[in-house]
Structure 1
């Protein structure tokens, strides 16, 4: 089997992390042949790759079969379109774009033979994979309520100061929801399905000197009448990671550490209609189903992308599946701006018009040259 020739566009923290995974051997049948970044990079010489200052030159070079785009969100549409239109396979860092309109434009440019994937790495986290298997098996019965408080995404002020694009409408199209919590929102809808409507409430620059949201609370409505709450923050420490999914037959509870499955006997609805005990409730059994294994999430997604191209392996996270989480994030913001309940499918053109108003008055900040301590492993939740 020939190795896939991969170009990496963007050599920031996450781009370098992906390169380390590939160079370490954690990714098979893949060789990095080219890198692109605005400045010079000694890394290219170290890994025997050709360096380009212009991503278009990399794509046009003929050195790559595929590209991994690990640049700020504002460039995803432009770079993704160019790569797809030139016939390359694409693995995109999250999110798919600033808006679902941008995401849909990228999908429309994808050829039938092209592999287009998104770095939704938390889908392979053992705990969420276990929850997905429980949900797909119908163990909980009909959905009644969901609730995720995900506030341990704390980021200090320096995180924003050393970047010109983070936490700006121009650079990111949002903050907490489009950057940190896009993973959680993806997992939320992956497990419980898309809501039919959302009411969103956001704090904009509540804890940081930024123009976008650093706190968000969303109320979801589902087609069967179930409801949900999502709470996120980058200004709370130590923060909370608590996910509950409640169904007629039981519930899943994840506290950031342990995963518990509770099963009712009989179901809540059956007991409700049949019992003569005024203060009774169904009997239940609780089991700890926390997975013991740990995995290299990013390497698994990159391996899957490579094998999808070389061996037609089904994608873990095809780019089209990034639309729903992007729609939810966009919907929460739109609701917060307008004070209105937003329904799904999201009106992409309507949201884009609202976002364009923000973009018109937004710009990139001047980066600080503060020397920082960077531990990428500490950034994952």
Structure 2
């Protein structure tokens, strides 16, 4: 019976270095100091990175850890039970498949892939290996704030959802950020911009909390305020098929930034500001019932002024403040991943969920490319062909 998960980390960039530091207490990359977490269920036994300097640094600081220049060699070594990937988005699915084929558990960084076709291939392989754990690093599902929202919505406390709006523009990135590496903000290197790099957590949370829409219409601006090929500004409209709608607004050029989520139901409303403060308004009767009982319009005027009997008798308002401890949700995902391997504790972010956020991002891109509403069950092969067109156009522009 396995008592501890032997973990291999693929990629020693900022995120991979953070996981290594969290699990060992040794920091290999400059930046915010990292503290060793209480994660007795996991032991880092191997890392893989293509950078010789990083490999030598790890060997000197952590001589008991196996270091590889090729992730396949690490998978074949017998030194790991599980992996976490912190590499280019295009490689997530490929590495996940190679690990699963070797009976190694998989935790993928978000997103699970760039396009649904490759993610579905990964999911199909995982289905054939039900004894293995396959998860995605949707760490915000461990955020106590969003777990509380999930509980409220699933319990029916705000009734049937009518509208969801999220403006999340706290991703400010100057041109210097994009100029750091040639692969950044390219179709070939990352497969997109803010939708695949900064906002996947919010895209995942919208579908996790409110479900998947049926149709998507989007306006994406490419290289709008930055000299890049991919999207740096997005406004997307979701149609849930039952009259309910959703709106997502995100960008990387808002230097002041906003983070506000509103979820309106027929029995209440949730408002989240800055992912810290949640205001929950609960109705003791549904809005439809209240609407039917209002016959005196003076009551409406009083309601607007806050002096109505309806407001006093039928509306409860609760405000909750949450602490957002940076890094804690990552630790909790790692704990949940290990617990599933060791004792089958249910996963908070199972790998099969990873395709949903990718599907939403793909639909947003496709809608903006074609300038029309897109069914969420779009043709995956068609999307892949359009993405390849973007990559070819990008290469031609670089040659010119």
Same fold (TM over 0.5): yes
Query: Match for residue 22 of structure 1?
Result: 23
Determine whether 1:360 maps to 2:392: yes
Runs of 4+ with >4 A deviation: 292-295, 363-366
Match of residue 99, structure 1, among 81, 92, 115 = 115
Determine whether 1:65 maps to 2:81: yes
Which deviates more from structure 2 when the two are superposed, residues 345-354 or residues 92-101? 345-354
Quote the offset at 1:365 in angstroms.
Answer: 12
8 A Cα contact 1:96 1:326, kept in partner: yes
8 A Cα contact 1:83 1:89, kept in partner: yes
Quote the offset at 1:232 in angstroms.
Answer: 0.2
Determine whether 1:316 maps to 2:348: yes
Determine whether 1:46 maps to 2:61: yes
Match of residue 74, structure 1, among 70, 78, 90 = 90
Q: Secondary structure at the match of 1:323?
A: helix
Distance 1:364 1:53 in 2: 32
CA RMSD between the two structures: 1.8
Match of residue 339, structure 1, among 350, 357, 371 = 371
Query: Match for residue 319 of structure 2?
Result: 288
Q: Secondary structure at the match of 1:109?
A: helix
Query: Match for residue 218 of structure 2?
Result: 200
Query: Match for residue 7 of structure 1?
Result: 8
Match of residue 276, structure 1, among 289, 295, 308 = 295
Match of residue 49, structure 2, among 23, 34, 37 = 37
- Larger proportion of helix: 2
Query: Match for residue 132 of structure 1?
Result: 150
Deviations 1:255-294 (A, max 9, x none): 1131000122432111112210225254222210233574
| Superposition pairs of residues 223-238 of structure 1, within 5 angstroms | 223-238=241-256
Q: Which has the larger radius of gyration?
A: 2
Distance 2:146 2:116 in 1: 25
Q: Secondary structure at the match of 1:336?
A: helix
TM-score, normalised by the number of residues in structure 1: 0.92
Structure 1 residue runs of 5 or longer lacking an equivalent are 367-381
Quote the offset at 1:87 in angstroms.
Answer: 1.5
Distance 1:349 1:214 in 2: 25
Structure 2 residue runs of 5 or longer lacking an equivalent are 25-35, 304-309
Query: Match for residue 371 of structure 1?
Result: none
Q: Secondary structure at the match of 1:245?
A: strand
Distance 2:324 2:65 in 1: 34
Deviations 1:63-107 (A, max 9, x none): 111111110112223222211212211111000111111110111
Instruction: Give the 3 Å change call, closer, same or farther, for CA 195–28 of structure 1 in structure 2.
Output: same
